[in-house]
Amino acid sequence: MKKYEIEISSDHEDGKNFVDWLTDQGHNAEIGNTTGNFIDGVWTNTDEKANQILNQLWKEYCYS
């Protein structure tokens, strides 16, 4: 699986645990300073591919 640079929004309800899980999976993840989520610097609200990647990672996290 490709590894991503991921920034999770500062107001994400489970952000810290999600970031910890992402890091354990080999991604470079952190809580950001904004309310946006980013994959490799691309805002998930405006990019369908970035949004799909984040949704897939979230699903994997929820089922782990």
pLDDT digits (tens, 9 = 90+) for 16-62: 999 999 999 999 999 999 999 999 999 999 999 999 999 999 999 99
Domain count, the chain: 1
Give the per-residue pLDDT at 58. 97
Residue 40 φ/ψ region, left for φ over 0, alpha for ψ in the -120 to 50 degree band, beta for the rest: left
Q: Is residue 12 situated within a structural domain?
A: yes
Determine the structural domain holding residue 15 and report its residue range. 1-33
Q: Is residue 40 situated within a structural domain?
A: no
Q: Is residue 1 situated within a structural domain?
A: yes
> What is the pTM (predicted TM-score) of this model?
0.92
Q: Is residue 50 situated within a structural domain?
A: no
Which pair of tokens denotes residue 55? 């949704």
Q: Is residue 57 situated within a structural domain?
A: no
Q: What is the mean pLDDT of residues 12-19?
A: 93
**Which residue from 21, 32, 29, 15 is spatially nearest to 63, judged by alpha carbons?**
21
Which pair of tokens denotes residue 33? 């300073």
Amino acid in position 31 = I
Q: Is residue 44 situated within a structural domain?
A: no
